[in-house]
Structure 1
C-alpha cells in the first residue's frame, strides 16, 4: 500500500480522540456476537477525522453459520444507526465467507484501504484485507470515465452552448466532473473514493493538473449563469481533461496523437488489419459479432461463409463523409500506424 496517500485536511477541531475512546469503551458490547471473524472501523474516523456530525462506523464480519442464525434472532446490539452511551454509531454486519468471494468495486476497495482492524484474534480479517487490496488499479479503466467526461463537457456542452440553454448546459458540465475526478484518482494509482470525499481527498493526490485549486474552482464555477460563464467553465473542464488525458496516455504508452478514450477502438482496429479474415471463433476472442453492426467496423467488414472478412480497400478509403469524426480520427491513426510499420519493414 502506498504511504503518500490522499488524506483529510479539514480545518476544524477533530473529535477523533474522544470518539475513539468511546468506541474502545464499548468494544466488549460490540464483541458479544457469536462467530466473529473480525471487526473493523471505517468511515471518516478511519481516515483520521471526526467531528460532532460524525458517527462511529463499525463493521462486524461474522462467519456464515452465525450470520444466517442472526437473521432469525435478535442481535446483541442494535444494527444500523444507533446510540451507545450518548455517541452515534452505524453498525453493520457482513457475512465473512460471502465477502471473501465477492468482487469489490473501487469504492469498496477505497473504503477498505483506509479501514482499521479493531479485532482479529485469528488473523482472518487481515487475510481478507490482504486478498482484496491486492487488486491492481487498472489504468485502462479510466478510458470509459474519460469518454463520459468528454461526452458531457464537450459533445453535450457544445450543443447547449449553440442552443443557448444556460441551465441545461451547466447541468451537462456538472455531469462531467465526477468521471473526470475519478479518472484523476486512477492517474494516481488510487482507488476511486465515495462521492462524499471525491473533491476533498483529490486535493492531496500526489499528481494533479496545475494550478489545481484554480482549475478545480473553474470546473465547478457557474458564474453569473450567462452564456459567457458556460464558455469559461467548459474551457476549464477542457484544460483539466487534457492534462489528465496526457498523464494517462503516458502511463499506458499510448502516444499516437489520439485520446485515451480512443484506445480500445484503436487496439481492436490494429488487431483487425493484421489479417484479411477471421473465423467467428477467432473474432469472438477479442470482440463480439454484434460489434460489426457499429461503426467504424460496419463500413469495412462483412460476414461471408462463416468468416469475418476485412475489406482493406474500403478501410483505406473511408473519409469524413462516411464516418463520424470520432471514428474517423481512429481510422486515420490506424492507417498512419500501418504505414509507419510497413516503412520499418522495408528498411529492414
Structure 2
C-alpha cells in the first residue's frame, strides 16, 4: 500500500534509518540465498520511516511449505527471533508463504503489512498476496463495536467507580476506554488499527481528528490529582471525544442512521424484524448472522411459532421508556419512529 498521506512517525530525536538500511542492504544477499526463500519483507519501525539506537531491523522470510517444515524440524540456516547479525540487532521471522496466503490476517498484521516493504520477490508472489490482503480498507461500521467498548468503559464502568470512590480502578478502566476510542478513530479514517505500541503516536497524523486532538487526548489520558474529581473530569473529556467520533462516522458514512454507531447492528436487526413481520429462524440467521434473540429490545416484541419469528407491533408500541434499559429503548424508539413515518 502506498504510504503517502498515511499516519506517519513524528519523532524529533535523531533518525538513524540510513545507517540501519545500509546494514540491511549488505545483509540482503545472505537472506536471499537462504534455502526455500520465496520472498522477504522489511517490517517494523524501519518500514514506517524511523529508527534509533533502540531499533532492530525486522525482516520476515517467506518460505516454501517444504522449506518451512525443514526449518522447524532442524536448526534453521540463520538465527531467528531477536538476534545480532554482523553486529546489528535484527528481529528475524520465517513463515510458510502458502499458509500466510491462505489465512485471514488480523488487524495488527494488516496494519504492519500496509507499511511493509517488499525486499525480494523474484516471482512477484508477495506483491500479489499483499495486494489481495490490503485491497479493502477497514469498513467504518467496524467502529461500532469499538465505540461500544469505549462507552462501556467510560460510562457504565466509569460511573460505577466514580460512585464507589476507587480512583485507581476508575483511571484503569478509563485507560481501556481511550484505547478503544483511538482505535475507533483509526477506523473512522478507514485506516488499519496500529499495534498499541504506536496507537496514540500515529493518531496525531490521521487525516481527520476531533478538534484540538492533542490537547484533548492529553486530558483523556491525564490522571490529574488522583481524586474522584479527576475521574469526573477525565470522563467528561472521553465522553465528548466519543460523541464527536461517533457523529463524524454517522455524518460521513451512515447519514440516515438514527442511533449511535454502537447501536447500529441492533437497530438494523430490529428494523428487519419489524419490516418483515414474520421471518424463519433460518433466514434470520442467514441475514443477521445470529441466533434467535434472547434479550432486549427483542424479547417482548416477538413470538416464536413453528420456527418463525413473529413480530408483535402492538407489543412494541405499548412499551415505554421505563420498561427497558435506556440503551435498548433508544433503539426501540428509533424503530417505532420509523414505523410511524411509514
TM-score scaled by length of structure 2: 0.96
Displacement of 1:231 after TM fit?
0.9
Are positions 1:333 and 2:334 aligned together? yes
- Give the aligned partner of residue 37 of structure 1: 38
CA displacement, residues 271-311 of structure 1 (integer Å, 9 cap, x when unaligned): 11113322222222224674421111111112123322111
- Give the aligned partner of residue 69 of structure 1: 70
- Which structure 2 residues correspond to residues 22-101 of structure 1 after superposition, within 5 A? 22-101=23-102
- CA 1:141–1:256: 2 relative to 1, 3 Å: closer
The alignment of Structure 1 onto Structure 2 pairs a total of residues equal to 341
- CA 1:163–1:291: 2 relative to 1, 3 Å: farther
Are positions 1:181 and 2:182 aligned together? yes
Displacement of 1:242 after TM fit?
0.8
Distance 1:255 1:133 in 2: 29
Structure 2, gaps ≥5 residues long: none
TM-score scaled by length of structure 1: 0.95
- Which structure 2 residues correspond to residues 1-348 of structure 1 after superposition, within 5 A? 1=1, 3-287=4-288, 290-340=291-341, 342=342
CA displacement, residues 57-82 of structure 1 (integer Å, 9 cap, x when unaligned): 00000011111122222222101111
CA displacement, residues 147-200 of structure 1 (integer Å, 9 cap, x when unaligned): 000000011111111222211211111110111100100111100000000001
Displacement of 1:142 after TM fit?
0.7
| Cα pair 1:254 1:263 within 8 Å, conserved | no
Task: Report the secondary structure of 2:276's partner residue.
Answer: coil
CA displacement, residues 86-110 of structure 1 (integer Å, 9 cap, x when unaligned): 1100100010000100101121111
Distance 2:240 2:40 in 1: 44
- CA 1:12–1:288: 2 relative to 1, 3 Å: closer
- CA 1:288–1:6: 2 relative to 1, 3 Å: closer
| Cα pair 2:146 2:184 within 8 Å, conserved | yes
Aligned-CA RMSD value:
1.4
Displacement of 1:28 after TM fit?
2.1
Displacement of 1:327 after TM fit?
0.3
After the TM superposition, which parts of structure 1 deviate over 6 Å for at least 4 consecutive aligned residues? Answer: none
